[in-house]
């Protein structure tokens, strides 16, 4: 079938809106009419890689939401007409998947970032017959229609506001899951969240849901800190790393129980780590490309540092949970969203990079 998609043809070039041919779903795949798709920093990682690592034309997008139009012969979890959120893919058979720790699938790169299906095929070709990469995070949802792996498809309630739900598939579930799943923040504890973008603000909301008594948001921009206050932060901090550590220790009376970093900035991570109490834990989700040093003496007392992918979530359980919290007014992530039509994807990218918007979503044409 003919579809419209945003294609990135070079890592340094703009997205182009193109007509593509979309193949048929395989036995364990789902054809989805995409209603909207969130834009996340991970969609833009190719811009940070050397040109020789760019794998060719690709449809990105990994926070899609929409309506099922057709299913493959072996699909059992959804049917045509179902509302769905699209999340990451996993192999289902490795040691991590057997333990239901799907974000840590041993084959994560192959199933999510290889430019196509695990067997090397793609669902998209352009009008000249050239292969265009598909199945980014099992979905490639910067398109009016896409073929998603069944593993990436999460059914949600028929009454759900599907247009705003795509970000639950990655960024929002990562921020919320870091608090509720990875750190398992308890009521009455203290938590530091560094970076008040979409992940960080979702984490602030989740910390409030968890009942944390001290929620400290750290960011360089006062406008972001104001939002953090709105969504549950009890304290806000801005300044140099040494100032951050001192402010956290003061606010917590000697050190935080938990910290969550979304910045990927080693100096900020060290500042948060230094502000933990002796049995505190810090979880890292920010993408950084430098080295991170660890002070042995500060760690052997009982502190913990851990990475977090996709909020340690089981998507078909956690995404509906977040949707219910949102419906109950306890998790208003939808207020972070700014809509752009698909043909303004380059403007959305610039607005996101500049910090002018928190969470852009691309709305597909009818």
Q: Tell me the CATH number at 288.
A: 3.40.50.720
Is residue 59 domain-resident?
yes
218: domain range? 175-309
Residue linked to tokens 């229609």:
145
| Arithmetic mean of pLDDT, 313-339 | 98
pLDDT of residue 72 exceeding 70, the answer is yes
CA distance 155 to 134: 21
Is residue 337 domain-resident?
yes
Residue linked to tokens 């705003």:
164
Q: Which two tokens stand for residue 48?
A: 């940070």
Q: Are residues 134 and 195 in the same domain?
A: no
Q: Are residues 303 and 352 in the same domain?
A: no
- Out of 309, 324, 341, a domain closes at 309
Q: Are residues 134 and 67 in the same domain?
A: yes
Tens digit of each residue's pLDDT (9 = 90 or more) over 271-306 = 999 999 999 999 999 887 777 888 787 788 899 999
Q: Are residues 275 and 196 in the same domain?
A: yes
pLDDT of the residue at 336: 98
pLDDT of the residue at 50: 67
Is residue 214 domain-resident?
yes
Q: Are residues 336 and 297 in the same domain?
A: no
pLDDT of the residue at 53: 60
State whether the Cα torsion 253-254-260-266 is positive or negative: positive
Is residue 323 domain-resident?
no
Q: Are residues 93 and 121 in the same domain?
A: yes
Higher-pLDDT residue of 361 and 286 is 361
Q: Are residues 342 and 237 in the same domain?
A: no
Check residue 185 and report its DSSP letter: P
- Mean pLDDT, all residues of the chain: 95
Q: What is the CATH number of the domain that holds 32?
A: 3.90.180.10
| Arithmetic mean of pLDDT, 250-274 | 94
Q: What is the dihedral of CA 168, 327, 200, 353, to 10 degrees?
A: 60
pLDDT class for 61, splitting at 50, 70, 90?
A: very high
Which of 47-56, 203-212, 292-301 is the least confident region?
Answer: 47-56
Is residue 207 domain-resident?
yes
Say what percent of the chain tops pLDDT 90: 87
Is residue 321 domain-resident?
no
CA distance 18 to 2: 10
**Residues sharing a CB contact under 8 Å with residue 305, sequence separation 6 or more, in sequence order:** 273, 281, 282, 284, 294, 299
Per DSSP, helices labelled H in 102-159 are 108-112
pLDDT of the residue at 300: 86
Q: Are residues 153 and 281 in the same domain?
A: no
Higher-pLDDT residue of 99 and 291 is 99
| Arithmetic mean of pLDDT, 28-39 | 99
Q: Are residues 347 and 297 in the same domain?
A: no
Provide the domain count of the chain. Answer: 2
pLDDT class for 55, splitting at 50, 70, 90?
A: confident
CA distance 134 to 125: 9
pLDDT of residue 187 exceeding 70, the answer is yes
Half-sphere exposure of 203 (CA within 13 A, CB side): 37
Is residue 316 domain-resident?
no
pLDDT of the residue at 71: 98
Is residue 325 domain-resident?
no
- Out of 294, 309, 324, a domain closes at 309
pLDDT of residue 250 exceeding 80, the answer is yes
Q: Are residues 161 and 200 in the same domain?
A: no
pLDDT of residue 60 exceeding 70, the answer is yes
Q: Are residues 129 and 70 in the same domain?
A: yes
Residue linked to tokens 């990475």:
307
Q: Are residues 139 and 179 in the same domain?
A: no
| Arithmetic mean of pLDDT, 129-143 | 97
């Amino acid at each position: 079938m003919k579809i419209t998609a945003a294609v990135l043809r070079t890592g340094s070039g703009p997205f182009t809106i193109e007509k593509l041919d979309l193949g048929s779903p395989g036995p364990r795949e789902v054809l989805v009419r995409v209603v909207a798709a969130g834009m996340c920093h991970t969609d833009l990682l190719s811009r940070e890689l050397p040109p020789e690592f760019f794998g060719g034309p690709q449809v990105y997008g990994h926070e899609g939401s929409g309506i099922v139009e057709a299913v493959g012969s072996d699909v059992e979890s959804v049917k045509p007409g179902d509302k769905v959120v699209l999340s990451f893919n996993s192999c289902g058979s490795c040691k991590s998947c057997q333990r239901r720790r799907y974000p840590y699938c041993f084959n994560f790169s192959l199933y999510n970032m290889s430019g196509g299906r695990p067997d090397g095929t793609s669902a998209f070709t352009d009008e000249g017959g050239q292969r265009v990469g598909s199945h980014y995070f099992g979905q490639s949802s910067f398109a009016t229609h896409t073929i998603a792996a069944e593993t990436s498809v999460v059914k949600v309630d028929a009454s759900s506001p599907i247009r705003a739900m795509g970000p639950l598939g990655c960024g929002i579930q990562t921020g919320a899951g870091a608090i509720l799943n990875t750190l398992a923040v308890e009521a009455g504890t203290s938590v530091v969240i560094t970076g008040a973008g979409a992940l960080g603000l979702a984490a602030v909301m989740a910390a409030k849901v968890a009942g944390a008594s001290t929620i400290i948001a750290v960011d360089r921009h006062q406008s972001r800190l104001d939002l953090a206050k709105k969504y549950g932060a009890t304290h806000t901090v801005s300044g140099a790393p040494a100032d951050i550590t001192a402010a956290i220790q003061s606010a917590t009376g000697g050190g935080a129980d938990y910290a969550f970093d979304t910045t990927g900035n080693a100096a900020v991570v060290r500042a948060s780590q230094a502000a933990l109490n002796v049995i505190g834990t810090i979880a890292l989700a920010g993408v950084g490309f430098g080295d991170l040093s660890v002070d042995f003496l500060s760690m052997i007392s009982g502190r913990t540092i851990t990475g977090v992918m996709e909020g340690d979530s089981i998507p078909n359980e956690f995404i509906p949970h977040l949707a219910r919290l949102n419906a109950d007014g306890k998790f208003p992530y939808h207020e972070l969203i700014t809509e752009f039509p698909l043909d303004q994807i380059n403007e959305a990218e610039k607005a996101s990079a500049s910090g002018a918007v928190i969470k852009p979503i691309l709305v597909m044409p009818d």
